[in-house]
Structures are given as structure tokens and as C-alpha cells.
Amino acid sequence: MLYVPRVEDKNSHMRMLRISRMDDLVANSMNILEPSPVDADGNQHEDVMLANHPVDLFLLPGLAFDKSGRRLGRGGGYYDTFLRKYQERATEKKWKQPLLVALAYSTQIMDSGVVPVTPHDVSVDALVSPSGVIPMSTAALERM
């Protein structure tokens, strides 16, 4: 199953909606493709927060990362807010926490401790770059 982010407002509220085909995506006001609330047949897209099964992996964007797992986004807190809520749900359901993986070019990867963080930031478990996979957490090491 594939869930894709949809920004709901400017208050860091984002949902992940299940899509089954590319036609489920529409351009938002910034011309970024995201799922519409309903599919072409008029059916509501499933929200990952209401799903009856856990997510194994989230692929995350970012501007910069360091080798300790810190992630610098665009400053809106959309992913951090969403991920904290999902992690709480996974804990409540007694599900294994999803692996948080970011895709990065080698030039986006800094030395440990370089990327600034706040207490609300969620770290990634692994980075995937053209050079290969860089595990950063015990969860990543266990699953590789």
C-alpha cells in the first residue's frame, strides 16, 4: 500500500492518504502533486491514521541531514508533527515503529551534530544516497 502526503493547512497539519494510481494525485496551489480527498470514483481515500495495519517505512524529504540522523526540513514542521502522531498511534496499537528513511544526495549529508534541531524534530533511522545506505539507528541496523 502506498500513502502519499497531503498538506491540509498552514498549521503543520498534513495527512497521508492511500492512493492506488497516479490519477489519484492532483496539483496543489504550489503545483506539487498530492492526493485529493476522494478518488476518481468519488470514494474517500484511506487516511493512514485510520488504517487497521501498520506502516513499515516512511520515505522522508529534507534539505540536509547529519550522520546522527538529524533532518533539516523546510521549517514548517509538517513531517515532524505527522510522524510524532503516527508514532503515538503505533505505540497505542502495539505495532512496530515504522522505519524512517530519507533520500539524500551526498552533498546534503553533514557530519554528526551539524544539523540544528529542536525538541520537536524527529530523527531518521537511515539515509539512502547514491553512495549507498547509511543506517543511523539500531532499528535500521536490525532491519537491514
- Residues comprising the binding site for ATP? 71-79
Distance CA 141, CA 144 (A): 5
Q: Three cell numbers at 4? A: 502519499
Burial class (CB in 10 A: 0-12, 13-18, 19+), 127: buried
Distance CA 116, CA 119 (A): 10
Do residues 69 and 124 lie in contact, with contact meaning Cβ atoms separated by under 8 Å?
Answer: yes
Distance CA 113, CA 123 (A): 12
Residues of the binding site = 71-79
Grid-cell match 549529508, residue found = 109
Contacts of 75 (CB under 8 A, 6+ apart): none
Distance CA 39, CA 87 (A): 27
